Chains A and B, each alone.
Chain A
Amino acid sequence: MRRRVSLALLLAPPLTWLVVAYLGSLAVLLVSAFWSTNSFTGAVVRTFTFDNVARVLTDEVFRTATLRTVSVALTVTVACAVLAVPLAFYMAKIASPRARLALVVAVTTPLWASYLVKAYAWRMLLSPEGPLSWATSYTPGYGLIATIVTLTYLWLPYMVIPVFAAFNRVPDSLIDASSDLGASDMSTLRMVVAPLVFPGIAAGSIFTFSLSLGDYIAVTIVGGKTQLLGNIIYGQLVTANNQPLAAALSIIPLAAIVAYLLAMRRTGALENV
């Protein structure tokens, strides 16, 4: 009985905060998507209307931006996985224990460097007079490619760590057994290692996908004229001062991520987060 009381006391403050401040806000977000603004004063009017949601679903501009944003998020996720898998394999299975530790630190330290500075670094790197065009006399310039590269750079550590953890959990004895039974390295990788590592990739992809989907800072810095959902939402809220439409638009990334989380749950990735 006393344990019940102390548990309740322990849980009450954090749960109250998260439920009221966080889930409460998400609820307000969903509700406010059905409000409208006074066309004269711009003030939010709390009357129920489907206008915003209808506009989000039918407007060609929004639909194109949604498709573009989801494609960017998926491309970034694939790019992160391609970069991370060989690296994580090397870290977990080939590097010496000392080198492994050093690599984990080396891969995760950039996470703590300023996000803004990292995006800005790519702006400098890709500028027409920057190091890349100096060294190779080629630069993709600011646009969609630059956005994808920058987002891949920003979120790569989020992919490396879960994939590394997944490789780490594959027992060496399993790999030895597979090759003792006559499997080639490729078959062992494909039939023994890959299924065990896939949940790690899925776990990492939740971060890379979700973070790319909502980003508007990186695309503003290196994206040139590229419009992603993030900067359209920002524009609606700040420039057009249409909070309900911004709320309706931000349901798109929210829904996309919930769908993604549900899909990933079937892979067991959520236990790794």
Chain B
Amino acid sequence: MLSHGARRLLRGWTFLVLVFLYAPLLLVVVNAFNSSRTFAFPPTGFTLHWWSDAWNSEGMWESLANSAVVGLGATGIALVLGTMAAVAVQRYDFFGRHVVSFLVVLPITLPGIVTGIALNATFTSALGVSLGLATVIVGHATFCVVIVFNNTQARLRRMGTNLDDASADLGASPWQTFRYVTFPMMRGSLLAGAVLAFALSFDEIVVTTFTAGPTVQTLPIWIFGNLFRPNQAPVINVVAAALTIVAIVPVWLAQRFGGDPATTRV
């Protein structure tokens, strides 16, 4: 189907959209080495000076450590809850299965600001809890569950139940079947889900803003706070470039573990 000309047109369109997707990311990386202080384009020269400035930025390391703590905490909770929900939905037939799936997906479908304000209202006005790292972890865990859920659910669906049935026929208890048959086969997808959930938490800013309070800074919050300060621009550019390059890591890792980073968030 389609004439030669139409195909070429579509190929050209695809190329242009890819340029649209990657040119801004490329610019971020280039500007981290731009020796001009105003970052005017084209760059006036090449420098590594900003990288050593960024390395010595205390605020950056402190917020990076906070982000790591939050990411690990949220991922841990999401792993447990997401796996349980995925096993329930894929291995059991019950009334309201779709409601469970919908409920799990809802937190990434609703805009972050709604989730953020809702959690903020609950923590501050209703419960009277003071905001801090713990409240950020609760917020992040809520939308990270879906990442683990999607990865694990897809794997369970592909695995089918034949091996589980065989194990049960051979006399294994449900726990033994899970421990020795099901779990080893879904380990890869758990790792993939964990890596991607961590990546999502690491990058999140909206829910974080409303659950962190004024004293705790994660890396995105720190970047946002320094974004409009001209004298911090070099450091911000370096951190932005580093994050852009590092972003390939979770995708690559998840792919290796047999997850599906392409459709996990969509």
Which A residues are within 8 Å of any B CB, using their own CB?
Answer: 2-3, 6-7, 10-11, 13-15, 17-19, 21-26, 28-29, 32, 35, 44, 46, 83-84, 86-87, 89-91, 93-95, 103-118, 120-125, 127, 129-131, 134, 153, 156-158, 161-162, 165, 175-176, 179, 185, 188, 204, 206-207, 210-211, 213-217, 221, 230, 233-234, 237, 243, 246-247, 250, 253-254, 257, 261, 270, 273
Assess the A124–B262 pair: CB atoms within 8 A: no
Q: Which residue of B lies closest to A121 (CB)?
A: B24
Give complex CA distance A145, B39 in Å. Answer: 23
| Residues in A whose Cβ lies below 8 Å from that of B174 | 2, 6
Interface residues on B, range: 35 or more
**B2 close to chain A: CB less than 8 A:** yes
A86 near B262: Cβ-Cβ < 8 Å: no
Contacting residues, chain A, for B227 (C-beta < 8 A)? 116, 120, 123, 221
* Other-chain contact of A94, B10, B17, B27 (Cβ < 8 Å): B10
Q: In the bound complex, do residue A121 and residue B41 qualify as a contact, i.e. CB atoms below 8 Å apart?
A: no
Interface-side segment among B53-61, B119-127, B155-163, B181-189:
B119-127
The residue from B25, B31, B119, B224 contacting A116, defined by CB atoms under 8 A apart: B224
- Among B80, B109, B122, B265, the residue within 8 A (CB) of A13 is B80
Closest 3 CB pairs of A and B: A214-B111, A121-B24, A25-B118
Assembled-state Cα–Cα distance A170/B118 (Å):
41
What is the CB-to-nearest-CB distance from A205 to chain B, in angstroms, rounded to a whole number? 12
| Contacting residues, chain B, for A215 (C-beta < 8 A) | 111, 113
Closest chain B residue to A152, Cβ basis? B20
User: Given A113-B244, A116-B223, is A185 in contact with B117 using a C-beta cutoff of 8 Å?
Assistant: no
Q: Is B171 an interface residue (CB 8 A)?
A: no
B108: nearest chain-A partner, CB-CB = A207
Given known A-B contacts A18-B103, A106-B21, A121 and B28 have beta carbons under 8 A apart:
yes
Contact B84 A110 (CB under 8 A): no
Q: Report how far A119 CA is from B197 CA in the complex, Å.
A: 21
Interface of B is mostly: helix
Cβ of B79 to closest chain A Cβ, rounded Å? 11
- Interface pair B243/A257, CB less than 8 Å apart: no
Instruction: List chain A residues, Cβ under 8 A from B199.
Output: 112
Q: Quick one: which of B10, B11, B20, B113 contacts A250, CB cutoff 8 A?
A: B113
- Verify if B73 is at the interface (C-beta below 8 Å from A): no
Tell me the minimal C-beta distance from A42 to chain B in angstroms. Answer: 12
Complex CA–CA separation, A110 to B26 (angstroms): 11
Compute how far the CA of A165 lies from the CA of B21 in the bound complex, rounded to whole angstroms. Answer: 20
In the complex, A246→B210 CA distance in Å?
Answer: 12
Contact A104 B262, beta carbon cutoff 8 Å: yes
Q: Is the CB of A26 within 8 A of B118?
A: yes
Closest chain A residue to B146, Cβ basis? A18
Asked whether B111 lies within 8 Å of A11 as measured between CB atoms, the reply is no
Q: Mark B45-89, 1 if CB is under 8 A from A, else 0.
A: 000000000000000000000000000000001001110110110
Given the interface pairs A14-B82, A210-B110, the reply to whether A131 lies near B41 with Cβ below 8 Å is: yes
Contact A110/B94 with A18-B142, A120-B236 known, Cβ cut-off 8 Å: no
Interface string of B246-266 (1 = CB under 8 A from A): 011011000100000111011
CA distance A105 to B248 in the complex (A): 11
- Asked if residues B120 and A179 are in contact (CB atoms below 8 Å), the reply is no
Residue of B nearest to A159 (CB): B266
- CB-CB contacts of B87-114 with A at 8 A, as 1s and 0s? 1100010100000101111110111111
Q: Report the separation of the CA atoms of residues A157 and B109 in the bound assembly, to the nearest whole angstrom.
A: 15
Taken together as a complex, chains A and B put the C-alpha atoms of A115 and B226 apart, in Å, by: 16
Is B88 within 8 A of A90, CB to CB?
no
- Asked whether B206 lies within 8 Å of A214 as measured between CB atoms, the reply is yes
Residues of A within 8 A of B119 (CB): 21, 25
- Chain B: which residue is nearest A2 at the CB level? B174
Are B110 and A28 closer than 8 Å at their CB atoms? no
- With A113-B25, A127-B39, A250-B117 known, 12 other A-B pairs at CB within 8 A are A3-B92, A17-B145, A22-B106, A29-B122, A113-B244, A114-B203, A114-B220, A117-B223, A121-B240, A204-B266, A210-B109, A270-B102
Interface CB pairs A-B, < 8 A, 9? A14-B81, A17-B77, A109-B261, A120-B236, A121-B24, A127-B39, A210-B111, A243-B124, A247-B121
